[in-house]
A and B are shown apart, each in its own frame.
Chain A
Amino acid sequence: MKPLPRVAGGAALCAAMCAAMCAPALSAQEIVLPRKDGSVRFLVMGDDGTGDREQYEVANQMVRFASRFPFPFAIMLGDNIYGSERPQDYDKKFLRPYKALLDAGVEFNAALGNHDDPNQRYFKPFNLGGNRYRTFKKGNVRFFVIDSNYLDPEQVKWLEKELSASGSDWKIAYFHHPLYTTARRGPEVELRAVLEPLFVKHGVDVVFTGHEHIYERMNPQKGIYYFTVGGAAKLRKGDTRPGALIAARYDRDRSFLIAEIAGDSLYFQAVSRKGAVVDKGVIARREAR
């Protein structure tokens, strides 16, 4: 695959990605996002660190989409490195599959999953800065990265403080374990009991989680949109269930999601390993509904 040019953000990023758009052999499906100037664009991926062929194929599809939809950063929903975590595993399960994106300057922002050694917080490319949980801002969006493996009282206190101090237009939380899912292992009801009241109280708009190796979008729960995007390498085929809870689901192949926030609207597309758009839509910011 032809490497993407390195991007620096803003106009430079657009120029670099425009150049990549002209590259041959790009076969991603048509993208109909608004692609507005100044919007916040990112990629969402979960449960990706297997080092298997499927991870590389999904990663290649991400690169194809990046050439048409330049995104300066990605969020990782945990299980970033499965199995052993030797230096060569970081190569095989992260640095090599995402080399084109890393070389293009895409910033990866990881959350920790139950398969992740907490020492991953010191791995610079994951941008955890030595912390198990953190918050960061991109444009008019505040992201809250939560460690759902070990939600101790100290972290809950931190989250409440950061949520209440956030004056951002958009609030997006992401972590590993889903609070709502129809997949076999079911939702993390204890986590929900602790986190959901905070999300509702402080106006969180969207929650992204992984853990279940499928794609799901829930109907809004207490005003919050929940996505499970846990199929960037592993797959539990046929693991979702239809029902009143669910707005869209995809469990036939691996998947990831691209998102763009422009003003009060969040545009999203879920994409399969083969490049098919398997779900898409627009979400209005909570305060604008």
Chain B
Amino acid sequence: MLPSLNFRRVVLVGVAGVAMGAGLGCKAEEKRAVDPTTAAFEEFAKLVDGYIKLRKPLVDSVGQLDPTKSQPEIAARSTALANAIIAARSQAKPGDIFTPEVATILATLIKEEYRRRSESVQETREDQQDELPDFVPRVNQVYPPTYPLATFPPTLLPLLPALPDALEYRLVQHYLVLRDVEANVIIDVMPNALPT
């Protein structure tokens, strides 16, 4: 198993500990200290699940993808799905899925993980971003198709809540982005996710 999984547990407990405040009794504190993170991630999972439920009839309406489709069909289906998702979530705003509680925990997790990494890793991560033009990701924005997708740090991924196949995390500038893979639509953004 990846060592970073252990790190996640340590950080999660640490983050939760900070969130709960110091000075509580040891045993009771341990039990209660994990709860805010667990609760926040459970809420996050519910919101993600809600998105998938909203998405399912839209996917049904545009049809499933498979490798027998031609490129015009693939492109048309992606656009149709994107338009349907954007229309169905026209009121969506930042923080709908990355709620403030989740964002606080994730930001701490990510920043702690960055601090733990060597200088060479930090440089690699900066280089991964250097091909990205200066665009600010927005909810319901189609991820600009002419821009590359920055490689997601593989040692950071196991620390974040797992996502269904339809969604993925991406980093754009200092934002953590939740992206619908097949529709290429930005579903939520979390600013200041990365250390400056």
Interface residues, chain A, with chain B CB atoms under 8 Å away: 83-87, 90, 114-115, 117-119, 121-124, 128-130, 148-154, 156, 177, 185-191, 193-194
B157:A152 contact, CB within 8 angstroms: yes
Q: Is the CB of B66 within 8 A of A122?
A: yes
Are the CB atoms of A85 and B151 closer together than 8 Å? Answer: no
Contact between chains at A130 and B124 (CB < 8 Å): no
Which chain B residue lies CB-closest to A148? B151
Q: Is the CB of B120 within 8 A of A189?
A: yes
Q: B154–A122 contact, CB under 8 A?
A: no
Asked whether A118 lies within 8 Å of B181 as measured between CB atoms, the reply is: yes
Scoring B127, B146, B151 by chain A CB atoms within 10 A of each residue's CB, the highest score goes to B151
Assess A123 versus B71: contact at CB under 8 Å? Given A156-B2, A189-B121.
yes
**Segment touching A, from B33-41, B72-80, B97-105, B186-194:** B72-80
A125 to B170, CA, bound (A): 27
Considering only residues 70-124 of chain B, those with a C-beta below 8 Å from chain A are 70-72, 74-75, 78, 117-118, 120-121, 123-124
B151 touches A177 (CB 8 A): yes
Q: Which residues of A contact B69 (CB under 8 A)?
A: 122, 124
Which of chain A's residues have a CB closer than 8 A to the CB of B162? Answer: 153-154
Contact B66 A130 (CB under 8 A): yes
Are the C-beta atoms of B65 and A122 separated by less than 8 Å?
Answer: yes
Question: Of A130, A148, A154, which contacts B67 at CB under 8 A?
Answer: A130
Q: Is B148 in the interface zone, CB < 8 Å from A?
A: yes
* CB of B43 within 8 Å of the partner chain: no
Is chain B's binding surface mostly helix, strand, loop or mixed? loop
Chain B residues near A156 (CB-CB < 8 A) = 2, 154
B side interface size, CB within 8 A: 40
> Is the beta-carbon distance between B151 and A188 smaller than 8 angstroms?
yes
Contact B157 A85 (CB under 8 A): no
A149 touches B2 (CB 8 A): no
Q: Sample 10 A-B pairs with CB under 8 A, ordered by A number.
A: A119-B78, A128-B67, A149-B149, A149-B152, A153-B2, A156-B154, A185-B124, A186-B124, A189-B120, A191-B154
Q: Does B150 sit at the interface, judged by CB under 8 A?
A: yes
**Would A190 and B121 be within 8 Å (CB), given that A117-B184, A119-B78, A156-B2 are in contact?**
yes
Max chain B C-beta neighbours (<10 A), residue from A115, A118, A150, A190: A190
> Is the beta-carbon distance between B72 and A87 smaller than 8 angstroms?
yes
Instruction: Determine if A114 and B131 form an interchain contact, defined as CB atoms under 8 angstroms apart.
Output: yes
Contact status A84-B152, CB under 8 Å = no
